[in-house]
């Protein structure tokens, strides 16, 4: 029992430590592919460190929501990291607090508070970004629903630890059309939710074109650091859900030994790195969509997830 609590804490620490690294690697590779040198992969750590040592400025007009939000944004991915398989293939101590839907709700709570805080200060760009994020969010919602519905339909459960075993026992299940289509739909969701390029440009500096970034414009100092760190943790957690639950449980620790769990850290990071390579290729080969074309992008994701469900119906 103590083992499992310790592992759970290790899991959270891994998410906290390596989340900025993934962002750094992603940024570096994106610049490399454009034949530039790019920032160091440790740049996000330096940014967060620098921001923690700066003064914080808070508008007099803002309410408690504005001050409270960075903590919510920072804490929600940590809660989700307790629930999902990051390192181990078997459930840990807190894993039964919630299933995948629960994890989705907790992540949505962070997004909800970030939106409220963006509206709170009445900075003109904040509410604009917030309303756009909501637009992407409510278009992504039905896709999430169908994906989770199909997953529970196929695997007979919404507990991630049961789901991810199903895809590889037997290995033929990996090639199930519903599985492949689900992966595709969820990939599109990650792009939309993570604010990656066909939907949103994460490195853009033009406020009028921003979707996700403009929500955090008003934060400075510690608040900005927590928002940044929380954002990268949310991305990391989404990648973990995608790679460890929906793709396959390869590379996760199966035994209860500490060495095995620690060995899973580089393996999982390798898996994420491979996925980041794919993401970099996607981001470099597409242009950002116009705002009202996002409907089509997420409509395509919706159709893909429905196709996954229909093919599942045909197989029974």
Partner 1 sequence: MTEPHMALSVLTKLNSLSGGLFLLTAFGIIAMRQVLASLNLFVFQSILLAASACLLGFQHGSIHLFAVAGITLMTKSILIPFLLRRTLNQEVYARREISQVLNIPTSLLIAVALTIFAYFLSSPLLSGVVEPSVKFNLPIGMAGLLLGAYVVMVRREAVPQVIGILSMENGAFFASVSIAPDLPLIAELAAAFDVLIIAVVMGLLTRRIHERVGTTDVGRMTSLKEE
What is the binding site for partner 1 (CB under 8 A)? Answer: 170-173, 175-178, 180-181, 184, 295-296, 299-300, 302-304, 306-308, 310-311, 313-315
Residue 231 CB neighbour total at 10 angstroms:
25
Among 190, 171, 179, CA closest to 155: 179
Nearer to partner 1 by C-beta: 1 or 314? 314
Least distance to partner 1, CB of residue 155, Å: 16
Nearer to partner 1 by C-beta: 72 or 307? 307
* 3-state DSSP assignment of residue 88: strand
Nearer to partner 1 by C-beta: 171 or 208? 171
Least distance to partner 1, CB of residue 140, Å: 14
DSSP at 241: I
- Which residues 6+ apart lie within 8 Å of 103 measured at CB? 80, 83, 84, 160, 237, 241
Least distance to partner 1, CB of residue 308, Å: 7
Nearer to partner 1 by C-beta: 137 or 299? 299
Structure tokens at 82: 């307790």
E strand residue ranges, the chain:
none
Written as one string, the DSSP assignment of 79-132 is: HHHHHS-SSBSS--TTGGG--HHHHHHHHHHHHHHHHHHHHHT--THHHHHHHH
Least distance to partner 1, CB of residue 295, Å: 5
Nearer to partner 1 by C-beta: 43 or 173? 173
Structure tokens at 10: 């290790």
Among 79, 94, 67, CA closest to 8: 94
Least distance to partner 1, CB of residue 273, Å: 27
Least distance to partner 1, CB of residue 184, Å: 8
Nearer to partner 1 by C-beta: 64 or 175? 175
Sign of CA dihedral 186, 265, 107, 194: negative
């Amino acid at each position: 029992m103590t083992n499992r609590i310790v592992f759970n804490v290790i899991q959270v620490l891994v998410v906290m430590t390596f989340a900025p690294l993934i962002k750094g690697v992603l940024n570096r590779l994106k610049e490399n592919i454009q034949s530039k040198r790019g920032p160091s992969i440790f740049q996000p750590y330096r940014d967060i460190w620098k921001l923690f040592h700066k003064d914080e400025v808070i508008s007099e007009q803002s309410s408690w929501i504005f001050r409270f939000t960075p903590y919510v944004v920072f804490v929600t991915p940590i809660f989700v990291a307790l629930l999902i398989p990051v390192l181990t293939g078997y459930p840990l101590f807190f894993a039964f607090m919630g299933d995948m839907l629960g994890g989705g709700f907790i992540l949505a709570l962070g997004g909800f508070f970030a939106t409220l805080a963006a509206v709170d200060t009445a900075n003109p760009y904040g509410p604009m970004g917030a309303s756009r994020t909501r637009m992407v969010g409510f278009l992504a919602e039905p896709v999430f629903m169908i994906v989770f519905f199909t997953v529970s339909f196929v695997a007979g459960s919404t507990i991630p630890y049961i789901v991810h075993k199903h895809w590889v026992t037997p290995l033929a299940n990996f090639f199930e059309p519903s599985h492949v289509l689900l992966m595709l739909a969820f990939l599109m969701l990650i792009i939309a939710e993570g604010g990656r390029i066909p939907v949103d440009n994460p490195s853009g500096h033009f406020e009028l074109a921003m979707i996700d970034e403009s929500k955090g414009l008003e934060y400075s100092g510690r608040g900005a650091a927590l928002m940044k760190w929380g954002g990268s943790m949310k991305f990391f957690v989404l990648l973990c859900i995608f790679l460890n639950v929906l793709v396959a449980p390869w590379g996760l620790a199966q035994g209860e030994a500490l060495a095995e769990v620690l060995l899973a850290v580089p393996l999982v990071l390798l898996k994420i790195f491979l996925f980041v390579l794919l993401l970099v290729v996607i981001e470099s080969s597409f242009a950002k969509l116009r705002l009202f074309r996002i409907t089509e992008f997420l409509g395509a994701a919706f159709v893909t997830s429905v196709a996954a469900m229909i093919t599942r119906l045909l197989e029974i």
